[in-house]
Each structure stands twice: as C-alpha cells, then as structure tokens.
Structure 1
Amino acid sequence: MSEALPLDHGHLQKLVTADLVRPDHLLGAHPVTENGVQGVRFGVWAPNAHHVSVVGDFNGFNGFDNPMQRLDFGFWGAFVPSARNGQRYKFRITGPDGRTEDKMDPYGSFFEVRPATASIVWEQPFDWTDGGWMAERSAGLDRPVSVYEVHLPSWARREDGWFLNYRDLAHRLGEYVTFMGYTHVELLGVMEHPFDGSWGYQVTGYYAPTSRMGSPEDFKYLVNHLHALGVGVILDWVPGHFPTDPAGLGRFDGTPLFEYADPRKGYHQDWNTYIFDYGRNEVVMFLIGSALKWLQDFHVDGLRVDAVASMLYLDFSRTEWIPNVHGGRENLEAIAFLKRLNEVVHHMAPGCMIVAEESTSFPGVTTPSPHGLGFDYKWAMGWMNDTLRYFEEDPLWRRYHHHALTFFNAYRTSENYVLAISHDEVVHLKKSMVMKMPGDWYAQRAGYRAFLALMWATPGKKLLFMGQEFAQPTEWNHDQALPLHLADQPDHRGVLNLVRDLNGLYRGRPDWHVADTRDEGLQWISADDVENSVYAFLRRDPVGGAWSLVVANLTPVYRDIYPVGVPVGGEYRVLLSTDDGGYGGFGTQQPDLTAKGEGWNGQPHHLRLNLPPNSVLVLAPAPTGDAAQAADQDPASADAGATAPGRAG
C-alpha cells in the first residue's frame, strides 16, 4: 500500500507555501490502510466549491455515499473503505452558482481511454533496472545530444489500426533508434489528452501517460528498456495552457481556479485553451509537481517545455491585454514560475535537461537563475527559419541570401541551442522536408542531404522529427502510421544512411560536439563566396585539439578543383560526402588530397576540391600509424548497407 502523506495542516501548509512537498503525494487517489482498514484516500483542491463528493465504481457513481470533508486552504479529503485499486472515479463538485459537474482528478495517474474521462485508482509496483543510467545521466553541454522526435501513436500501429502498446514500442523503437545512432528520443503526445488531433498538446492528465498505449507500468517499461539500450528519454511538457473540456481543469470548482479569471490574461484565442494562473502557489506547485513526477517516478531524462513565448508575454497573439505592474508586456508571474521550475527540478532530479521552445529573443533563457530563466537548452528557432528560407530558395537566387546561413554564428553562443527540425515544420501544408527543396526529385534529395549535413555540422545539439530521416515525401499525418517501408527503397534509404552516418560522426568526433556552445567550436574559412554559394568552416575541439573541415556547395553546379584554405599541410581524408553513392549521389571522386603550400583564405595551405552540386564535403587530416589503424575502425564509417530494424507491421 502507498505511503501517501496525510492531508493534515502541516503538509498542506508546506504545499501552499511552495515548499518542496510533491503535491501528488497529498492529493489524488492513494490506496492506503487506515486503522487496519484497506481503502483509498482521496484529496482534491476546490476552494470555492460548496460541496464535493467522490463517485466511482465503489458506490455506483452515487454522489451521496462518499461526501468529502472540507479541510484547510480549500482542500477536500475522504477515505473510502470500499474503494480499490483499478476502480474508476471522479470528483462531483457543486460550485458557488449551484451547478454540479463531474471532474477528472487533476492528479490522476491513470485514465479511461478517450472519449471516456474517468480517472482510475492506480498504484502498481515496477522493478526498475536502470540504476546505473540514472546515477550517470547528465545534461552536460559537452556531450553529444542527437534527438529523434517521435509521436508514439503514429510512429507505428497495429495491423487493425489501433495503437501499439508501450512495451511493443519499446522494442521496435529502441532497435530502430540505436541502429540510427540517436542519443535520445523526444516523445510528444504522451500525457493524457482527450483529442487526438491536438497531438497531446492539450493536456488533461498532467500526471498520467495516455492510456491509449497501455498502463503507467507499460510506459515505465518503455523508458527502462530505452535506458538499457543507452537512449535517453525527453518528453514534451505543456505548462502554458490547457483545454476547455468540461471534465478537465477549466473552472474546476465552478470558478476560474487553475486559470486566470480575466480572459484577457487567462484565455488563449488561437488555441481555444485556458492559461494557467502562475500567481497562485497551488497552481505553481501543481505544475512543478507534474514535472517532478515524470523526472523522478517515470525516470524521464528531460522535458521540452512547449510554447514558452506564449507564457512570457502578456500580449502574445492578442490585441487586448493587461500590462504588468510596471506597465510592460512581460508576464512577471510566468517568469518567476519558470525560474522556480528550473531551480526545483535541477535540485530534485539531478542530471535532467530542461529545454525551452522559445521563439523570440527573450534574454537569458539558458542563463542560470536569478539572472536568467535557468533552462539547459533553447530551440534555435532563428537558425531554423533562416536556414529553411535559404534552402527553399531557387539556387539561382541564393547569392542574394548568402548570409542567412552565416548569421547564426553572430549569436550562437548567446544561449545553449538545440538545432531542431520538429513536427511543426512538416504539417499544415508546409510540405515535408525533402519536398521543401527546389528542383526535380534528384535535386530535392541532393539539397536535402546538404541541409542535413550542414545541420549536423553546425554547432548545437540536434533534433529531427520522425520520417525526415528517410526523406518522407508526404506531410506527417497523426492518424496514420509512419511509412517506414519507404526506408527500404533506394532513394529514401540513401538519406537514412546519411543521417545514420552523421550521427556516427557527431557522436564519434569530439570536434563535432564538445564545443557546441563555445566560440572555439567553429572557425570560418570562407563565409563570403556569394557568387558561388560556397561555404567552408572548421569544427574544432579546443580541449583535445581535433578538427575537421566542412565545405558546402549549395548550387546545382560542379565546382572543379575549387581552392579551400586549411591550417596544416599533408594528406587529408574524406570523412563524409553527401554525394556518395550510398546516399543516392553520383559518387564524385576527389583529386589528390594533399594540401599545397600556397596560402588561401587566410590559411597557410590549401586543398583543391571537386565540389559536387548541392553537396557537403567533410574532411580531416589523415591520421598516421596507430591513429590510422584506429580511423579504419571508426564507427562513424559503419557499413551504410546494414539492414535497418524496426519496420512496422
């Protein structure tokens, strides 16, 4: 039975004063034994309610059998001897206006499968085997982080169209992700939500994995199995808004409770959702408790906080808004909440990473509190927009947009960035990534391969949404399984081979990840060849001294014997060429890769390279002796023809 904390004055006082008491240890439904009697203790926060009762399978959903007792600070509690684990329940709440509604448990740990909305009393043991992983997990900035963003309900499905169980997904996804060389998966659509079309971004169960794919223990199995394979797990988490569904958090006790009362502050017009009231301690602790639940109890390694900009600005996507006490547009309560969130979770869940999806230039997103918000990473939305706009241009006009690809270097160390190509870029008629590229099908694939190589070669952690690793030609459809079978076709298999090898280079070469957030990580060799649309730069490891040369030719024109300056003479070797035949290219051969003694691009030596159309070439000084033997066994050059696992049935 649970060791849930009693709903007494001392624990309630700690909760409302924002102490580090997990609120779900006090509230919700907990199987316990009281005075030798087994039952379930229920607790709920409804300060403005006139009456609350708990209804469920144990009383035939009769609102008169189990009234709840009003406690301090607006909390209600009841011990129900007849209640048992696995039974459904709701809170029947009568508000100050006399209206009565049945509400889901805000702290529910398991729910009925939609469209049903009852919470389920649920407490089951789980034997974790990832103790070593949990002790060593780290958000360290010098580590490689390559994330595969996944919508589990549509990554793969059963033959009858229903969702796979978390346990089945654990093995299929785990095998595929390890084959591809990703370090992490990021899961969207995991927390309980009523509407499939929201992709899980309109959450009703902030403490529960969706029951569409199994029980909480099934989800724990998924996390535990991925950890056993050396893969970290990040979840999308939505503390910015919640749906208006009548069974959910909205007007929970008959009044605005979790949301701001004034719709100019508490209602999001674009999404038809309510906005959390960050000025209430109980709401702040509800959200922080949710974060801790996933990081502590579910062993999740990080949270990607959705739509942070919508939280930071009172005028976000609205014409009528209420200024803060200083007359400004910043939501000071939300800012204080985000700082508190990051302070608490980093203290209570060491080694986790908290990532902000923040689309503006708000300062100090990854600066530690109190001077900044305290996130570990921020999505590089500016890099994404600039780079996509450049690659979508007809190559004939790219000379006029040349510095869209160099501008990121002007600010890339201002925050700790994740270079993210997420689900948002391949929906709503935006086209899939490969179809954004201009030209015929071959040119589109060549351009997309060049885009991917530049993304991996640019300083910053990586994130790519599912399907884009094999050049899915259609937009993502959340109602259908991912067309993984396409990865067996040569045109798509070539892109998959490239992403796999890019992950190998990124993880295997310290110069590609150690200095992601530092100036020393990148040195431009040639950033201003506007007429040829050619770029050249070095990736550097300032600690170990390793470095490699990246050269991009982003027009459909061959550049024969193109000179590129290098810092040292001697022999060079090709680490990767996006024009390789195994990736779907022509397999352009290089001339003698010996650096000449004449200077070029401000460097003392230079190479003469054959640059294929729409391609990226990666080179490094050729190792000698033992280093050469080790290079021959480099996992980054693993067999590109290996069979990809994880095909959906």
Structure 2
Amino acid sequence: MENQLFNLKDFYDGNSFDDYTYLGAHKADSGYTFRVYAPRAVRVTLIGEFNGWLEYDLIRPKNSNFFEGTFADVKPNMMYKYRVYSTPDEFVEHSDPYGFGMELRPGSASIIRELDEFKFTDDEWMSKRDVGYNNPVNIYELHLASWRQKEDGSWYTYTETGEMLVPYLKENGYTHVELMPITEHPADESWGYQNTCFYSPTSRYGTPAELMQMINHLHNNDIGVILDFVPIHFAVDGYGLGKFDGQALYEYPSDHVGCSEWGSYNFNFGRGEVRSFLQSAANYWLKEYHFDGLRMDAVSRAIFWLGDVKRGVNECAIKFIQTMNQGLKKRHKGIMLIAEDSTNYLKVTAPVEYDGLGFDYKWDMGWMNDTLEFFKLPPLYRTKSINKLTFSMA
C-alpha cells in the first residue's frame, strides 16, 4: 500500500488525505520500510521484536524532516517503537503516530499490521448507502467495552460483538450503530476520548481484520456503521504524540491554548502537517474500514478557542474542518458527517461552497438529558416544560 508519489507540498499545506500510505511501516521488496516525521529530532532509531529491542538507526535524507529506513528482518505482527532523540543523549520512546496496530495496555508498542488481510464483500451496501436525508435514520450509540461482557468480565471480540449486534439492532428498529471511540487509548475505564494512536483500532477487542469483519457483517445485514472520531485533542501519555520530537509538534506550544479542559493536548490546527495527519486519519477509517460516517467530537472546541466564544473564532480550525469535510465528501459516496457542537455558530451544516463547515448533521446534545427528562414527565406537567423538548433544536 506504500505511496511512492507522496505530495510533500500537500502535506505541509494541510491538503493531504493519504499520509498513512507513506508514513508508518509499509511492506517493501525486502522487509519493511519505516518513516516518521520528526523535524526537530537530532536522531531517530527503531527498536522492536525483530532486533531484540536494540537500535536500528533511521536515516534523515538531506534537507528532509523525515527519518526512514528499510529492514529485511521485519515480519508482520511484530512490535516496534521509535526512540526520538531531542539531544545526542536524551530520547523518548514513542509509538508510531501512523501505526496500524498497537499492543494491549499497559504496553505501548506499535504492531505491524497489513490492511489487506480481510476482503470486504459489502459492495451492494457501499453502492446504495446515502446520507439519510430522505430515509429513516435511527442510530444506536454503543460503547463496546460495556455493552456486553463475558461471564468472567472479559470483552467480546469485534467479530463476536458484530454477530450479537445484528439481531439486537434489527429487533429494535435501528438503521445504524455508532461506535464510541475505538482508536487506541490507555484507560479501560474511559469511553475512549483520550486517544494515543489515531490509526490503530484498540487491541482490546481484537485485530484490524476482525474490526473489518464486524463492519462487513453489519453492512451485509443492511446496518450502517458510524465512527466517533476525536480530531480536537489527544492523550498526554509520554509514548503518544505529545512533544514528539522533543518540542510541541502536534500540540500548541503554549499551555494557555495547548491544554484542554479534559487534561489532554489540543491539536495545533495552525500547522498544515497536523491538519494533514488528522484528515488522513479520517479518510483512513472511511476508506480502509468502510465506515459510513464520522461523528466528530468536541467541534465547539475547534470553532472557538478552547470552546469559549469570548476568545473568538479559531480560523485555522475552521479551515481544517472545511478542507477535511469537503475532501471526504469528494472521496466517499453517501457518508454522514456529524458535528457534536453545542454552539450557535452559523452554517455548521451548510456546504463548504456556501461558507459552511460542511457537516450533514448536528448531534442532538439535548437528547440524553432534556428530551428524556421531558418524556419522563406526566402529560399534565409537560406543557410548562416544553422548552426541554425544543431548546436543543432552537
């Protein structure tokens, strides 16, 4: 899958949608080629199962911000990390920002995965799916870890969950299932919104091939699958994206805007390579896994600095959202793009060509609280509480 025609200008301008075909670990004629973006690193080495966790030096081509190397003794499903040196003597071990797999916590190594292990058979579904404006849409929001567990408290695999989901969703009249974040994250107790690797489906429930099998099974039973995508912030764990090359790279350099209210780092939308990283991840899940849409988390924190209207609009973030949504729509027929946005910012669901953000829907933020509270009230008392039903839509 390696892309030899990677467009560096698009990468730096924030217009790339296929970073993952160039960066990360890719099968070569002999072994695997590794590439990592670390502009301010003085040295990057590769450690893994294939070399006894000793160091292979990656080479930095002249006038390049990338480090790369091809090694013959690397095999699929092996674990690896990068040692990123900020000085000749100081390094931090990082998982691969573009790694397709990751070991189970508390481990933090990336795992080499091949995305062609599973062959989809959902052509009929993919050809007929649509955004849902003229058809019923009923979405079941699902957290994989807590929906159902085995008697011993362990999790079902992606494949097992897919088998159980189909009859449940059909019995209850759902047209789609929306998976709460499945990109790798460190804490079992979380809902998955503190991500450490944006291209790795969490290993808690199995392999990428098993996730593909789950989606394929749902599609072949006429059920769409939406992914909860987190493009605003990321976990602070040292093996992740934070201070990747010794300094702020993916995050803002200033803590005043660099840290979120959830204790995570905010993505720096002012850097084109960060925008390319995120929109390539969005494209990756839609293209390689056949997801039917993305529900984008915390969009209000991108529109306004730290989500605060008084701080003003983050123009770089607006540009990122518009470029990403417009690009995804051009590449994928019938996908849904959904904004979790609680603001009254105009044109969130207008097309980009009409100065909108390009989303198809806004998530109903009032459903789980106001709407359900309204339904609980006896009919006699509903008239005085009608605002609970209408507020989120107004």
Deviation at 1:166, TM superposition (A): 1.0
The match for 1:218 is 210
The match for 2:3 is 5
Partner Cα separation in structure 2 for residue 98 and residue 70 of structure 1: 21
Does the CA contact (< 8 Å) of 1:71 and 1:77 recur in 2?
Answer: no
Deviation at 1:18, TM superposition (A): 3.5
Deviation at 1:392, TM superposition (A): 5.9
The match for 1:28 is 24
Partner Cα separation in structure 1 for residue 387 and residue 98 of structure 2: 50
Partner Cα separation in structure 1 for residue 298 and residue 98 of structure 2: 23
1:69 and 2:67 matched: no
The match for 2:94 is 103
The match for 1:273 is 264
- The code of the aligned residue for 1:209 comes to P
Deviation at 1:208, TM superposition (A): 1.4
The unaligned stretches of length 5 or more in structure 1 are 412-649
Partner Cα separation in structure 2 for residue 172 and residue 383 of structure 1: 26
1:294 to 271, 285, 293: 285
Distance 1:287 1:21, change over 3 A: closer
1:362 and 2:360 matched: no
Partner Cα separation in structure 2 for residue 107 and residue 408 of structure 1: 37
The match for 1:186 is 178
The match for 1:228 is 220
- The code of the aligned residue for 1:78 comes to G
Q: Which has the higher contact order (CA 8 A, sep 6+)?
A: 2
Deviation at 1:112, TM superposition (A): 0.4
- Deviations along 1:335-372, one digit per CA (max 9) or x if unpaired, are 11111110011011121111000011111110011411
1:80 to 68, 71, 78: 71
Partner Cα separation in structure 2 for residue 355 and residue 208 of structure 1: 22
Q: Give the alignment of 1:238-387 within 5 angstroms.
A: 238-268=230-260, 270-316=261-307, 329-370=312-353, 371-382=355-366, 386-387=370-371
Distance 1:12 1:71, change over 3 A: farther
**Corresponding residue pairs, total:** 392
Partner Cα separation in structure 2 for residue 386 and residue 21 of structure 1: 38
Deviation at 1:154, TM superposition (A): 1.4
The match for 2:37 is 45
Distance 1:404 1:154, change over 3 A: closer
Q: Percent identity between the aligned chains?
A: 40
Deviation at 1:317, TM superposition (A): 6.1
1:237 and 2:229 matched: yes
TM-score by length of 2: 0.93
Distance 1:45 1:406, change over 3 A: closer
Partner Cα separation in structure 1 for residue 59 and residue 108 of structure 2: 21
Distance 1:275 1:182, change over 3 A: same
Does the CA contact (< 8 Å) of 1:202 and 1:242 recur in 2?
Answer: yes
- The code of the aligned residue for 2:47 comes to V
Deviation at 1:96, TM superposition (A): 4.5
- Deviations along 1:57-89, one digit per CA (max 9) or x if unpaired, are 1111112x3333345541111111111111110
Does the CA contact (< 8 Å) of 1:55 and 1:66 recur in 2?
Answer: no
- The code of the aligned residue for 1:145 comes to V
- The code of the aligned residue for 1:250 comes to G
Distance 1:161 1:365, change over 3 A: same
The match for 1:17 is 13
Partner Cα separation in structure 1 for residue 58 and residue 230 of structure 2: 32
TM-score by length of 1: 0.58
- The code of the aligned residue for 1:193 comes to H
Deviation at 1:405, TM superposition (A): 3.6
Structure number with greater Rg is 1
Partner Cα separation in structure 2 for residue 408 and residue 237 of structure 1: 22
Partner Cα separation in structure 2 for residue 406 and residue 17 of structure 1: 42
Partner Cα separation in structure 1 for residue 203 and residue 273 of structure 2: 26
- Larger strand proportion of the pair: 1
Q: Secondary structure at the match of 1:69?
A: coil
Distance 1:408 1:203, change over 3 A: closer
- RMSD between aligned residues: 2.2
The match for 1:116 is 107
The unaligned stretches of length 5 or more in structure 2 are none
The match for 1:474 is none
Runs of 4+ off more than 2 Å: 10-21, 65-73, 96-99, 315-318, 380-409
Does the CA contact (< 8 Å) of 1:54 and 1:68 recur in 2?
Answer: no
1:157 and 2:181 matched: no
